[in-house]
Amino acid sequence: VKVKTRREKVPGEQFPLLTKEYTTPKGVLRQAVRKTPDWPHGDSVPLWSDHMIPGSRSKKYLIENTDDIESFSCLFGEPTLEELEDFHKKAERSKRFAEDRGIIINGGGLRVAVGDIIAWICGIQNAVVWSFKRPALLHTLLDVTLEWNIRYVQQILESGVVDIITCRGYYETADFWSPRIYRAFFAPRLRRLSEIVHKAGAKFCYHVTTGIMPLLEIYKEVGIDILFGPDPIEGGADLHQTKERVGDAICLWGGMNAPLTLGTGTPKQIEQEVRESIRTLAPGGGFILSPLDSLILGADPKTCGWIPWESVEHMIEVWRKVGDYPIG
């Protein structure tokens, strides 16, 4: 596959266009984006990025028809022996680090995804329309992405190091897809991934932080072990219902919000949310307290991105105080 990118000023376009071409054995793929002032990738066009999803920024999506899917399948090559050797060395270092500290190793993360890849390469609106008008096209595209995910996950699992494989599903939620459509297009493919992970003796984690309530029972059906994402504020998750409906089968990882509760909340508000999360989700086990979506380390060691570090410490102090005891 040969790749080239060009920047050009096109009549009628307010912003410069960045066009990336992939010349593959099965045809040429093109992706064109408008370089708006908030475009974060310079003059490059990554294979996938959240910033390419809006139709207002993407002049042309990578995938528009069946021929494009044929070409797209050529982009996923096998790693070289040198790359595999380097990976296994790093994996062994991670294993020793984890064993010394008694922590788990999570593999995959943002690199394992099915529906999210679809959103990046054809736009979420196009994908939703295809689920009704061109279902065969969407199934074919999902199969190509699934096959790549399986190969990637198997290579991680073969190292024998990871305890968990996490699949991201930001664009697979009920914010975009009805439960019926989700069950038809995404559930079977997630089940396939979970079966592969379970066969290797690892746990399957699903990373989704909004639109989870209509899909909870499907998560149980496909074999999800850990749900990273119950967020009572931005995600709108009902913690009581979540625990009642899937807490017997799925470990719930989350329970509180990062940017709002920790970022702007008072110590009292932080304590209230920690206590409520533990009170609701901890009984019977299967709960990991975590602020969602993440804590991003900032340049200033006294902050965690936009979150004051003292708020993070206060959350931990409250957890230590109440985590091991019944909360009345």
Contact 147, 189 (CB under 8 A): no
Average pLDDT over residues 144-164: 93
Contact 162, 107 (CB under 8 A): yes
**Where does the pLDDT of residue 15 fall: very low under 50, low under 70, confident under 90, or very high at 90 and above?**
very high
**Where does the pLDDT of residue 145 fall: very low under 50, low under 70, confident under 90, or very high at 90 and above?**
very high
Q: Is the backbone peptide bond immediately before 143 cis, with ω within 30 degrees of 0?
A: no
Instruction: Describe the strand order of the beta sheet including 287-292 as a list of residue ranges.
Output: 106-107, 164-168, 203-207, 226-228, 251-257, 287-292
The C-alpha angle 246, 252, 253, rounded to 5 degrees, equals 160
Q: Is 141 left (phi over 0), alpha (psi -120 to 50) or beta?
A: alpha
**Where does the pLDDT of residue 328 fall: very low under 50, low under 70, confident under 90, or very high at 90 and above?**
very low
Contact 33, 52 (CB under 8 A): yes
Average pLDDT over residues 260-281: 93
**Where does the pLDDT of residue 173 fall: very low under 50, low under 70, confident under 90, or very high at 90 and above?**
very high
Please give the Cα distance from 2 to 18 (Å, whole number): 17
